[in-house]
């Protein structure tokens, strides 16, 4: 394989496809300007609806969703697609590395190259690719949090290869970026997986490349046990939570085993106080499910609803908007501190505690899996490693000799 940098190769060919906005024949289109080249003509004809305009001396395609992705895919490996003219020339100051060309001949990131990083402007092409990814993620129904994660990780990837034709990067160059994350930035295994998922989404879902062509080894996931709170600690936190609204939110997470996003997405009609049930819309994996609710929580929820009269969201913030995740976390943090809990308490620990306490009371893991909305029983079985059920009957060897 040639070790010639891609940017130099494209410059040598002097083949460029310039994309501009065009209003032609009473419709908004994208105009494609490029040299008189047989290969480029062959490729542009593969774009559905591509037509030659004698008036404008260019090819044009009526604008539609995902058109830019089709254009980039059509000219892959043949020409540099210049998207600069599609966006307004607004200066945006964003911290990003100067172009860093990873060596193609061996998967090692040189320390000298990393030190060259300076603050430069985000390129117009990068902004355009990010907008394309955001649109594609939304069209495929990805959650808000997943969209945010993918866009952030892909932005870092674009910054690393600033100035290079992103659709034409080789597998080795992509692997070099992952090596850079691991060896230079020392990111966690979770961040590594997020970066791989974002990159795979771009090349496989947007550029329509074969999954076999693009492959990256995934890091081993850290096998961390879920952190749980005792029932005594939970009661102290709930009592310290203060007003009825704050107590109702924290207690409902624990009572139904909810994720924080699921709690904040609850609508007024999703809680059935007569049947002690909670309906969760579009949980993780965009799946609906139903969970239990403590009968002892019903009086508190009735008191809350009578006092606050929520209109749409069960728990509303300012201006009747959804309550924010940061505010909810702050409530728990303050309550834990007031209760004298020394652990670093997080909202997800309430969900972990729900599952662990059910298991300790003898509930089947199958039922717990359904209540939590886990795809696989393996995910639920991890709680068996933190339960105290039966362990209190085992004597430590020290107790036997002391």
Which residues are annotated as catalytic?
A: 259, 284, 348, 351, 374, 383
* Long-range contacts from 23-28, C-beta under 8 angstroms, 24+ separation: 24/53, 24/55, 24/56, 24/60, 27/62, 27/63, 28/62, 28/63
Give the separation between CA 21 and CA 29, rounded to whole angstroms: 6
| Cα separation, 377 vs 272, whole angstroms | 27
DSSP codes of every residue in 202-235:
IIIIIS---TTTS--PPPPPP-PPPP---HHHHH
First-residue to last-residue Cα distance in the chain: 69
Tell me the C-alpha distance between 392 and 164, whole Å. 61
Continuous segment of H or E residues that includes residue 303: helix 298-308
* Cα–Cα separations (whole angstroms), residue 53 to 16, 25, 49: 19, 10, 12
Measured CA to CA in angstroms, residue 218 lies from 188, 369, 387 at distances of: 12, 26, 30
């Amino acid at each position: 394989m040639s070790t010639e940098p891609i940017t130099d190769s494209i410059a040598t060919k002097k083949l460029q496809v310039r994309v501009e906005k065009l209003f032609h024949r009473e419709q908004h289109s994208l105009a494609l300007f490029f040299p008189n080249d047989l290969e480029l003509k062959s490729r542009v004809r593969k774009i559905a609806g591509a037509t030659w305009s004698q008036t404008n001396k260019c090819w044009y395609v009526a604008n539609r969703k995902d058109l830019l992705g089709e254009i980039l895919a059509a000219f892959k490996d043949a020409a540099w697609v210049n998207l600069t003219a599609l966006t307004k020339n607004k200066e945006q100051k964003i911290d990003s590395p100067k172009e860093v060309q990873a060596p193609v001949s061996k998967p090692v990131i040189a320390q000298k190259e990393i030190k060259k990083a300076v603050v430069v402007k985000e390129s117009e092409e990068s902004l355009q690719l990010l907008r394309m990814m955001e649109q594609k993620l939304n069209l495929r129904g990805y959650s808000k949090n997943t969209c945010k994660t993918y866009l952030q990780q892909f932005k870092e990837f674009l910054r690393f290869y600033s100035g290079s034709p992103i659709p034409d990067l080789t597998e080795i160059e992509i692997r070099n970026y992952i090596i850079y994350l691991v060896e230079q930035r020392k990111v966690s295994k979770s961040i590594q997986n997020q970066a791989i998922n974002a990159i795979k989404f771009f090349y496989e879902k947007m550029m329509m490349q074969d999954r076999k062509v693009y492959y990256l080894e995934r890091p081993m996931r850290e096998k961390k046990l879920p952190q749980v709170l005792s029932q005594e600690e939970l009661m102290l936190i709930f009592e310290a939570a203060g007003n009825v609204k704050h107590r109702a939110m924290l207690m409902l997470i624990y009572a139904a085993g909810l994720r924080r996003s699921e709690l904040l997405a609850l609508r007024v009609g999703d809680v059935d106080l007569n049947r002690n049930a909670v309906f969760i819309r579009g949980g993780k994996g965009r799946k609906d499910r139903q969970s239990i609710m403590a009968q002892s929580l019903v009086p508190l929820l009735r008191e809350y609803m009578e006092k606050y009269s929520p209109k749409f969201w069960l728990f509303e913030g300012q201006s009747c908007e959804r309550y924010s995740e940061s505010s909810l976390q702050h409530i728990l943090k303050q309550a834990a501190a007031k209760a004298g809990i020394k652990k670093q308490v997080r909202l997800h620990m309430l969900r972990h505690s729900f599952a662990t306490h059910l298991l300790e009371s003898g509930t089947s893991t199958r039922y717990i899996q359904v209540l939590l909305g886990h795809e696989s029983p393996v995910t639920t079985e991890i709680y068996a490693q933190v339960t105290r059920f039966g362990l209190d009957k085992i004597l430590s060897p020290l107790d036997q000799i002391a």
